[in-house]
Amino acid sequence: MAEISERTGLSRAVVRRCLFTLEEMGYVSRDRRVFQLEPKILTLGQSYLSSSSIPVKAQPFLEAVSQRVNESCSLAVLEGDQAMYVARSATRRIMSVTLGIGSRLPAYCTSLGRVLLAHLPPADLRDYLVRTKLVALTEHTITDAKMLGRTLTAAREQGYALVDQELELGLRSIAVPIHGPNRQVVAAMNVGVQAGRVPASEMLTAILPVIRDEAEKLTAILLY
């Protein structure tokens, strides 16, 4: 309770009442003073995925990308300062961690996150660059806010973001925006590959045209 209180900024009394309520509802269980999530919590996420049009409509296009390039393809939205996966078509494991629906990664060093950040309103992007601590996850990670800002500007202008081993050594990924009503960017679609197997030049010549093609098809559905 003390840890939850500290992280949420709520008093221990409020946290205690919330936890007891969640325990009664079957969302958490308790082992003495330690609480943990129960499988029932997944029903909350499933409610979103089944009711939200974007993940449902995106899935066939993610699978089409995977079939065309034989690589994993994902869809993410911006949740706070992180890119959150809401749909995925996986062909192989390319990261040291397992990615799935609901997984979150830092926005500043992922292709999905950079596409989403690049299309934020200018004031929101400035606030993000000021408040975010840019941690070097690899020797290639951009940790200078001004340089990141220039990189995001380029991503917005060219219509894609290519990230080369900034999140994890051996991982390259490229992402494009998905537009919704009023042409606003509502999500990003990416393909991730093993750097030793697919050079950066091939990401631009062979993979980018495919994800752009499928992203445009999805955008057309979301628009009309």
pLDDT, tens only, 27-52: 899 888 888 988 888 777 666 655 55
CATH code: domain of residue 166: 3.30.450.40
User: What's the chain's average pLDDT?
Assistant: 91
The verdict on 126 and 39 lying in the same domain is no
The verdict on 60 and 8 lying in the same domain is no
Backbone angles phi, psi at 2, to 5 degrees: -60, -40
Domain count, the chain: 2
Q: What is the arithmetic mean of pLDDT over 1-23?
A: 91
CA 77 to chain centre: 6
Question: pLDDT at residue 93 above 80?
Answer: no
Q: What is the arithmetic mean of pLDDT over 151-164?
A: 97
Q: Which domain holds residue 98?
A: 52-223
The verdict on 116 and 216 lying in the same domain is yes
The verdict on 141 and 200 lying in the same domain is yes
CB atoms < 10 A from the CB of 128, how many? 20
Q: What is the pLDDT of residue 49?
A: 58
The verdict on 16 and 109 lying in the same domain is no
**Alpha-carbon distances of 188 from 12, 54, 56, 116, 217, rounded to whole Å:** 38, 11, 14, 6, 13
Q: What is the pLDDT of residue 183?
A: 86
| Owner of token pair 């979150």 | 104
Q: What is the pTM assigned to this prediction?
A: 0.78
Q: What is the pLDDT of residue 50?
A: 55
Position 99 confidence tier, pLDDT thresholds 50, 70, 90: confident
Q: What is the pLDDT of residue 167?
A: 96
- Structural contact between residues 181 and 223, judged by C-beta atoms closer than 8 angstroms: yes
